Amino acid sequence: MATEEIRAVGGETVRERLLAKAIDLFNRKGYAATTVREIIQAAGVTKPVLYYYFGNKEGIFLELMREGVKRLEQIMESARFAKGSSVERVIDLCERAFTLFQENIPLVRLMNSIYYGPPQGAPFFDFDAFQTKFHEVFIQLVGEGVAAGELRQGNIQDMAWAILGALNVSMDVELSHPELSIGRDGLVRVLKLIFEGVASKPKRGGSNNHA
Amino acid sequence: MATEEIRAVGGETVRERLLAKAIDLFNRKGYAATTVREIIQAAGVTKPVLYYYFGNKEGIFLELMREGVKRLEQIMESARFAKGSSVERVIDLCERAFTLFQENIPLVRLMNSIYYGPPQGAPFFDFDAFQTKFHEVFIQLVGEGVAAGELRQGNIQDMAWAILGALNVSMDVELSHPELSIGRDGLVRVLKLIFEGVASKPKRGGSNNHA
């Protein structure tokens, strides 16, 4: 089949077009309610073209999930072995993850819909294993920062959560409240605040006791 | 109708039982696929009982959303006018919001499913307006902390996001990765880290530059 060579307007391949139309339909109608017929009609191709690339609706769904995760894994891998201080590497990883997120908002919406939504009959995709991996990269970077004396002695998990919280909230706001958008620069500012502390300096003696 | 007086085992009223069974069914099957018949069967009541309390399926759904939001609003209101330092009030608000979350995990799952999931035909509920209100309470508390010299001079929005990130991530982890649970005490530790800073002290001159 020569369809691999077919390119649509703007240099998008037929394969890419099928993926984009599938995301769009899954988001608007839900995975369960979307048919192969609707996907191929939206992409302007015949059924055998979809079958050739993806096998079926499950196949196109799984390919979407895998591609999204693969790109984030590449970023994670490069962060693990990057040069620079822990703070630099954490900020760089967050910036790159945020940029990838911004470039793939419809895909993230689909992932959220499958992850948080009601059962829709979509094939199993192991989001949890992937999230655990992502978390572990932060644990590694923070651990290296503590070992190097760059970050404070303390609970590495807690530090990783503080950082991941900033990354998550910057993405959530972008999805749900674009009018309050933090953006990538804002995310970097929030991360620096977390490194430096929100409390005013000099500290008034002792810890923040609360009732 | 005398059903208001009917109490099930454990002191749960019929009304509460209908709400609990509706949450359970909406979560397992999705809102669209759940019928009034299934809800009344699960609660062991007849149709007129559900109609008496809630009118219809839309009514029971909206009541669930309203009750959840109402409880969080009470917590928000008391935080606005509470005594104590900004740090104390922020930590106290987060602890109380987290406790409410822990007590209502099935309801939070349902809210996430409606908010992030595919269109399910549920009646409109203004989550966004509520989230904005929640965000504004944090902006207020942080603003008061800055004005009092307790928090650093700087971008109040950024500080609020750092704090909200910690609260959000503690809830996300509880829902999705209970094996990594931060818990309420962990949330307080993460918040204190954010106030005090993750970087080691004393600071090596200047800010954290990154490539």
Question: For residues A43 and A18, is the Cβ–Cβ distance under 8 A?
Answer: yes
Confidence bin at B7 (pLDDT 50/70/90): low
Q: Across residues B104-113, what is the average pLDDT?
A: 96
**The tokens 């992030």 sit on which residue?**
B116
pLDDT digits (tens, 9 = 90+) for A78-129: 998 999 999 999 999 999 999 999 999 999 999 999 999 998 999 999 999 9
Find the distance separating the first CA and the last CA of chain B, reported in whole Å: 71
The phi, psi pair for A202, rounded to 5°, reads -70, 155
What are the residue boundaries of the structural domains of chain A, listed by start?
1-55, 69-211
Confidence bin at A10 (pLDDT 50/70/90): low
Confidence bin at A179 (pLDDT 50/70/90): very high
Pick from B88, B119, B162: CB nearest A30: B119
pLDDT digits (tens, 9 = 90+) for A165-174: 999 999 999 9
Burial of A202 (0-12, 13-18, 19+ CB in 10 A): exposed
Q: Do the Cβ atoms of A161 and B172 come within 8 Å?
A: no
Question: For residues B149 and A200, is the Cβ–Cβ distance under 8 A?
Answer: yes
More confident residue, B167 or B205: B167
Pick from A135, A198, A210: CB nearest B162: A198
Find the distance separating the first CA and the last CA of chain A, reported in whole Å: 71
How long is chain B?
211
pLDDT(A8) > 90: no
pTM to 2 decimal places: 0.89
Q: Do the Cβ atoms of B131 and A158 come within 8 Å?
A: no
Q: How far is CA A160 from CA A17, A97, A98, A174, B20, in A?
A: 38, 15, 16, 21, 35
If phi > 0 it is left, if psi is from -120 to 50 it is alpha, else beta; for residue A168 that is alpha
Task: Read off the amino acid at residue B22.
Answer: A
Please give, rounded to a whole number of angstroms, the shortest distance from the CA of A83 to a CA of chain B: 10
Residue A9's SS3 state is: helix
Closest CA to B16 of B98, B96, B106, B101: B106
Q: Do the Cβ atoms of B118 and A152 come within 8 Å?
A: no
* Kind plus residue range of the DSSP H or E element containing B187: helix B183-196
Asked if ipTM goes beyond 0.90, one says no
A149 interaction partners in chain B (CB closer than 8 Å): 200
Please give, rounded to a whole number of angstroms, the shortest distance from the CA of B155 to a CA of chain A: 9
pLDDT digits (tens, 9 = 90+) for A24-33: 999 999 999 9
Question: For residues A85 and A146, is the Cβ–Cβ distance under 8 A?
Answer: no
pLDDT digits (tens, 9 = 90+) for B131-157: 999 999 999 999 999 999 999 998 999
Q: Across residues B107-136, what is the average pLDDT?
A: 94
Least-confidence region, from A156-165, A197-206, B48-57: A197-206
DSSP for residue B7: B
Q: What is the pLDDT, as a whole number, of residue A82?
A: 92
Q: Across residues A159-181, what is the average pLDDT?
A: 96
CATH number of B1-55: 1.10.10.60
Closest CA to B172 of A174, A132, A94: A132
pLDDT digits (tens, 9 = 90+) for B10-44: 668 999 999 999 999 999 999 999 999 999 999 99
**The tokens 């995709």 sit on which residue?**
A125
Check whether domain B67-211 has CATH 3.40.50.720, yes or no: no
Question: For residues B182 and B174, is the Cβ–Cβ distance under 8 A?
Answer: yes
Per CATH, the homologous superfamily of domain A69-211 is Tetracycline Repressor, domain 2 (1.10.357.10)
